[in-house]
Amino acid sequence: MNHTHAAVKVESSEQQERALSPLRTIFMLGFWVVALPIAGLIGVPWSYLVGNVNFLYKACMWGAWTGVHLAGVRVETIGLDQIDPSQRYIYMSNHISNLDPPITIPLIPQRSSVLVKKELFKVPILGHIMRMGSLVPVDRGNRDAAITAVRDSIDAIRGHNLSMVIYVEGRRSFDGRLLPFKKGPFYLAEECRMPVVPITISGTEHVMPKAHFGIRPGVATVQFHAPIQPEDFGTRDELMAKVRAAIDGGLPKELRE
């Protein structure tokens, strides 16, 4: 009898969680819808007045981070003490959830650019803010556009003294295992001769899986691996192998290659 009651209780709890899951996402998105125009209203004129977008960038990072936490997601970081705040890096991360960017990018101590789907640049206010922040549009289905995105990334890094965040698989993994890497990020690293920091994200594949709208409360872990210095890159394929080994080594054992 006790087992029956326990099973019913667990099932009821799971049903309640499924019902609340979309509401958490709506709450997070609602917060962003309110916070973004406020950040733009204050940050855009201020950026033009002082000649830089640092305040606007910090406001957007605060908004992204706060929205995720309001949705019930806790974030644990590993290895962030290996990152020199005064140094620029190319951060290369796996990608398993839509929550990865608003969780990962605010953790990075330097102002960073990131590759963003070109469609998002058409969104009012958001598109303008992303252009001011030197984010780079990319059409993932177009090889020539991907080459252009690499060149634009080089311009953003050199022209605005930025770090760069790249999700090296080019798309999200369904099950948390690593997909094949794109070659463009490694060409970028060779061209810019900047240290590469592999990042392993885990947990977001359960908190907000690919193709799911709802968010479940839980823990996301972001592990920053030791920077790979340009003199240790080796060939492009060797650098890719080093980055892949580092990211894969940070995944839960059942998801490793």
Indicate whether 2 belongs to any domain.
no
Q: What is the pLDDT of residue 9?
A: 46
Could you tell me the CATH number of the domain that includes residue 218?
3.40.1130.10
Indicate whether 175 belongs to any domain.
yes
Q: Encode the chain (257 residues) as per-residue pLDDT tens digits.
A: 555 554 444 455 555 555 558 889 998 999 999 998 898 888 888 888 888 888 989 999 999 999 999 999 999 999 999 999 999 999 999 999 999 999 999 999 999 998 888 888 888 888 888 888 888 888 766 666 677 888 888 888 888 889 999 999 988 998 899 999 999 899 999 999 999 999 999 999 989 888 788 898 999 999 999 999 999 999 999 999 999 999 999 999 999 98
Indicate whether 121 belongs to any domain.
yes
Q: What is the pLDDT of residue 2?
A: 54
Indicate whether 60 belongs to any domain.
no
Indicate whether 245 belongs to any domain.
yes
Q: What are phi and psi of 117, to 5 degrees?
A: -55, 130
Q: What are phi and psi of 191, to 5 degrees?
A: -70, -40
Domain count along the chain: 1
Q: DSSP string spanning 128-175?
A: HHHHHTT-EEE-TT-HHHHHHHHHHHHHHHHHHT-EEEEETTSS--SS
Q: What is the pLDDT of residue 231?
A: 97
Indicate whether 64 belongs to any domain.
no
- Tell me which residue range forms the domain holding 205: 74-255
Q: What is the pLDDT of residue 4?
A: 52
Using CA atoms, how far apart are residues 207 and 242, in angstroms rounded to an integer?
A: 28
Indicate whether 172 belongs to any domain.
yes
Indicate whether 198 belongs to any domain.
yes
Using CA atoms, how far apart are residues 248 and 118, in angstroms rounded to an integer?
A: 29
- Strands (E) across the chain are located at 73-78, 90-93, 112-117, 136-138, 163-167, 196-202, 218-224
Using CA atoms, how far apart are residues 111 and 115, in angstroms rounded to an integer?
A: 14
Q: Are strands 218-224 and 196-202 parallel, antiparallel or unpaired?
A: antiparallel
Burial class (CB in 10 A: 0-12, 13-18, 19+), 148: middle
